[in-house]
Structure 1
Amino acid sequence: MKLCTLKIIEQEEDILGFPQSWNHIKPVKVSFGGRTKEVHSAPLTITDHTFLLSRSLAEKLSIPLTIRRLHVIQKEDTLHFGPLIGIITSGFSSIKTKPVGDRSSFFSRLMRNQAKYGVAFILFGKDHINWDEGTIKGYSYGEKGWEQITAPFPNVIYDRLPNRRMEGEEKFRTVKKKLQEEYLIPWFNPGFFNKLDVFERIEQDDEAKAYLPETHAFTSFSVIEQMLSKYGHVYVKPQNGSLGSGIHQIIYVRESDFYYCRFKDKDGNKRLRKYQTLERLFNNLFKNRSLKNMMVQQGISLMRYDQHPVDFRIHTNKDESGNWTVSAIAAKVAGTGSPTTHIKNGGEVKTLEEIVPDTKLRKQMKERITKASLVLSRALEQNMEGIIAEIGFDLGVDKEGRIWLFEANSKPGRSIFIHPDLRGFEKLTRKLMLSYAIYLTKMSILSPEELFT
């Protein structure tokens, strides 16, 4: 798709003027998102990438009159302007300046540069769709802030549902199925990952499975006993947890024959408890919990910074060619007494330069982390359903320099970007999302069979 300039002219007929250099047959139809109209078209004397649209045509296509730059591509006799990117989410409010509460700031940053990059956005929920008219009454963000707009169905949909509960709603699943199967709209980053499922899928890839610590569904105490005898400590965590919630580190000290558990209680306090047997530990700490959705993972002796364990959050994104690239690397230092490095548990974000000041060692570590992240991204893409375009990995580096995967997140948080030296990478992740949406739109127009077969 090529970036072009749009100029709206005052004409009542549906007129399109295309540049003299446009090397295609004369277009007889124009499309924006899911809406197509027949037009009277004629070449212009200008040779740059400027297209003239009558106001009548722009309004019938629902192209916002404030938009002056979009991408354009032609297939057969139809000229496609776009992409119109739909962002689906939930939790809408009646506050005009914050249509989705505190998350509005993330979406406004994403949409702020739509004119610069030649894209158009609409933020919407499952109840904003008019199936009879093929339109969505959602929200967009521009020079005047948030405003409610009506747009045709989008070229692509970016899934930003905030939690698994909303994802599991019957009405949402129906909307998703209908837009994908009946309207053939590519839907990227669908669903939240199940941690155990991720590991079982990656195990099918010979190169990627080298990064996996031993991980099992919780089935019995004997599984934990065996892993404690091998590794000294393990992590018990929910298969569908997030932000470090519900994670317990269990440590076995052979010399004293005691079991210790480090965790965060329901009030947010860090705890360390001591038990004579594993059974007592579980009866005390897990007596009111269902263990069928828990998993047990090998404990790793991580590299340290100021005597605190360190792991790494890596963001990977698909780029303008549909290839994986690493967009951000950050270190996370565990808080005192915390079983994890999560910021809400007292963790601290650091740059790689702060953690590894030696230039040569830092370069080597960055290369190995980058390689692991790309291998894991490709393995997940090949073994998971749906179109995946961004992933957040939690990786560990042990004292011998070996890299391990702890978790993969399909909707990675943005907490690492609070570090002032990482804010530029946050912008890069947003730019890459836009670039991939353009690529995906192009594919859906020119080669839909590659996406939907």
Structure 2
Amino acid sequence: MFIQWIPELKPDHIRLSPKWFVLRTIPSSLWLHFGAWKKEFILKINDHLPQSIVELPKAMMNHFTIPADLPYEIYLEGNHLHIGPVIALLLAKRNHLTPEYLEKHRGYLINYRMIKGLIYICSLNGINPKNQTVEGFYFDPNAKGKEQWKKGIFPYPGAVFRRIRVYKNAHYDHLITHIERKIFNPHFLDKSKLWDSLSPDPILVKYLPHTKPLNHLQDLNEMLDLYGQVYLKPANSYMGKGISTVKKMRNGYLFTNRHKEKTMIRSFRQASSFLRYLKKGRKYLIQQSVALTFNNRNVDFRVILQKDESQHWDCSGIIARFGRSGRFYTNDVSSIGLGKDALRTIFHLDEEAAAEKEKEIISICTEVCRRLDTIYGPSGDMGIDVAVDQNLRVWILEINSLQHHKMAAYLIDDPHMYARVMSRPLEYAKALAGFRGNA
């Protein structure tokens, strides 16, 4: 479906083909919806107009950008005409939307021919609550290279795919309120929120390593008495930053940081001082160590769960991640592989047993996502870090609501995973905006 701008059409008139009303009475007026924007128009019928064309008054272009050369979908619900989808990708806090930055995110448009509509990239300070518009750059499939991104001022969208952390921001709050909170992912989950959210669930708590706040040395001693070795993690860290291990020794505490640098602490007073130095005023957690090592390399699994047009959780892939020798973090993209292959190799499982374990991992992670949906509102894109210990027990380590999707691009053994991972967010956004194959 395409839009045609008609200069002579009155500002409050819209023209459609009579084919839209073959089995229904032609109304005198229609509410036009474009993203979150809506307005009532007087309906005019053009007998010569194809059903694939909607004629709109050119005066509408004075308010915001509605590109006419994009392919749209359209559906009629009662006397409400919906044109779209209109989807915003909220990717930055400030207007640093350079051509290089925009091009870096073009992978999300890999399936644009199926999505269609107006898809634009914006930043927080591009939101204008007064006019309920957003300044940004829309994707033009008819252009090439960097010319595919064109600047404009757009109406509030029908759905938002959020890729940044947002704290207190009045413009953001206004946006999500006026789009009826059709946004994903609505919340950023740090490590303490993960424990607080899932530990009350009698089923899911079995898959969580014991975690508690690090307030005093006594907290550390209690956890070391239980497990012998624990992790110290900043509640709000990522990519392994700030993480240390602590091992209880006969003559004190052995701290090891992410760079394999070891510090031996022999007295309680020194230990308390060292913890204060380590924390530097940040909130820290103590976590039971459930790490699995293979050939002296830590191994965990990134489970990529996403919603598509069905609006149900589905697994786009499982990636095994191998850390560097002797180090406990596993974010080196040069050392990844298919999850199922790693399960077979590490645990000497046959094809059927590895598939069953993978199925169990997906089931647990799906239940985690459903639980978080009920607490925080619908999400659509999660990277869940999972460990499997020597007894084949599954552990949930971390939830990444702003996961790095390009990890799948480095996976040689499944060349189609990257396309799945990159295309599904906008498939879900389209459905969230109300377009479910209604073209």
Partner of 2:55: 53
Q: Decide whether the 8 Å contact of 1:156 with 1:186 is kept in 2.
A: yes
* 1:293 pairs with 2:283: yes
Q: TM-score, normalised by structure 2?
A: 0.84
Deviations 1:34-85 (A, max 9, x none): 33341534376899x72343573874774312202x2323333120111211
Alignment of 1:338-349 (within 5 A): 338-343=327-332, 348-349=335-336
Q: 1:95 to 1:203 in 2, by over 3 A?
A: closer
- Are residues 1:175 and 2:171 paired? yes
**Matched letter for residue 393 of structure 1:** I
Question: Structure 2 CA distance, aligned partners of 1:242 and 1:63?
Answer: 39
- Name the CA shift for 1:286/1:187 in 2 (closer, same or farther; >3 Å): same
Which deviations, in whole Å up to 9, do the C-alpha atoms of 1:213-246 show, x marking residues without a partner?
A: 1110112222222222222211110111111110
Is the Cα contact below 8 Å between 2:3 and 2:69 reproduced in 1? no
Closer/same/farther in 2, CA of residues 315 and 150 from structure 1, 3 Å limit: same
- Match for residue 396 of structure 2? 405
Structure 1 segments unaligned to the other structure (5+ residues): 445-453
- For 1:192-227, what per-residue CA distance to the aligned partner results, in whole angstroms no more than 9, with x for missing partners? 212112211112222222211111011222222222
Alignment pair present for 1:431 and 2:423: yes
Identity %: 20
- Given residue 160 of structure 1, which amino acid in structure 2 is its aligned partner? R
For residue 196 of structure 1, what is the aligned residue in structure 2? 192
Of the three residues 386, 401, 414, the one matched with 1:395 is 386
Task: State the partner residue of 2:363.
Answer: 371
- Kindly provide the CA deviation profile for residues 157-191 of structure 1, in whole angstroms up to 9, marking residues without a partner as x: 22222x4xxx23x5xx2112222335535222123
Cα distance between partner residues in 1 of 2:364 and 2:206: 9
The 1-side partners of 2:56 and 2:215 are apart by 66
Q: Aligned partner of 2:15: which letter?
A: L
Q: Which amino acid aligns with 2:203?
A: E
- Matching of residue 6 in structure 1 with residue 9 in structure 2: no
2-structure distance, mates of 1:391, 1:378: 11
Cα offsets for 1:301-350 (capped at 9, x unmatched): 42x43342211111111232321111221011121221221228xx7222
User: Does residue 1:67 correspond to 2:70, yes or no?
Assistant: yes
User: In 1, Cα distance between the equivalents of 2:97 and 2:319?
Assistant: 34
**Residue aligned with 1:110, SS:** helix
Whichever residue aligns with residue 161 of structure 2, its letter is Y
Structure with bigger RCO (C-alpha 8 Å, 6+ apart): 2
SS of residue paired to 1:421: coil
Alpha carbons of structure 1 residues 7 and 65: separation in structure 2 relative to 1, 3 Å: closer
Q: Which residue of 2 aligns with 1:138?
A: 136
Which one of 179, 182, 187 corresponds to residue 186 of structure 1?
182
Letter in 2 for 1:396: A
Determine if contact 2:159/2:179 at 8 Å carries over to the other structure. no
Encode CA deviations 1:379-431: one digit per residue, 9 max, x unaligned.
11122x24322211111000001100111121112352222335532321332
Q: Tell me the CA shift for residue 25 of structure 1.
A: 5.0
TM-superposed deviation, 1:362: 1.9
What is the SS of the residue equivalent to 1:201?
A: helix
- For residues 80-119 of structure 1, the aligned pairs below 5 Å read 80-90=82-92, 92=94, 96-98=98-100, 101=101, 104-111=102-109, 113-119=111-117
Distance across 2 between alignment mates of 1:51 and 1:332: 50
For residue 316 of structure 1, what is the aligned residue in structure 2?
305
Q: What is the TM-score of this pair, normalised by structure 1?
A: 0.82
**3-state secondary structure, aligned to 1:337:** coil
Shift of 1:298: 0.5
Q: Displacement, 1:286?
A: 4.4
Instruction: Name the residue aligned to 1:448.
Output: none
Determine if the alignment matches structure 1 residue 17 to structure 2 residue 16. Answer: yes
Q: Residues 72 and 412 of structure 1: is their aligned pair in 2 closer, same or farther, counting only changes over 3 Å? A: same
The whole-number CA distance in structure 1 between the counterparts of 2:271 and 2:135 is 53
1:19-38 aligned at under 5 Å gives the runs 20=19, 26=26, 28-37=30-39, 38=41
Residues 143-167 of structure 1 show CA distances to partners (whole Å, capped at 9, x for unaligned) of: 3322212211111122222x4xxx2
**CA gap 1:222/1:44 in 2 versus in 1, 3 angstroms:** farther
Task: Map Cα deviations across residues 87-122 of structure 1 (whole Å, 9 max, x no partner).
Answer: 223255567423xx4xx3442221354343223212
In structure 1, what is the Cα distance between the partners aligned to 2:422 and 2:131? 31
Contact between 2:129 and 2:174, CA under 8 Å: does it hold in 1? no
Partner of residue 123, structure 2: 125
Give, as a single letter, the amino acid of the residue that structure 2 aligns with 1:401.
Answer: L
Instruction: Report how many aligned residue pairs link the two structures.
Output: 417
* SS of the residue 2:368 aligns to: helix
Write the distance in 1 (CA, Å) between the matches of 2:24 and 2:270: 75
CA distance in structure 2 between the partners assigned to 1:19 and 1:271 by the alignment? 75
SS at match of 2:392: coil
Q: Which residue of 2 aligns with 1:215?
A: 211
Would the alpha carbon gap of residues 153 and 373 (structure 1) be closer, same or farther in structure 2, given more than 3 Å must change?
same
Quick one: distance in 1 between partners of 2:3 and 2:205?
Answer: 53
Letter in 2 for 1:324: W
The whole-number CA distance in structure 2 between the counterparts of 1:422 and 1:81 is 36
Per-residue deviation, 1:7? 5.6
Q: Distance in 1 between matches of 2:212 and 2:305?
A: 26
Give the counterpart letter for 1:152 in structure 2. Answer: P
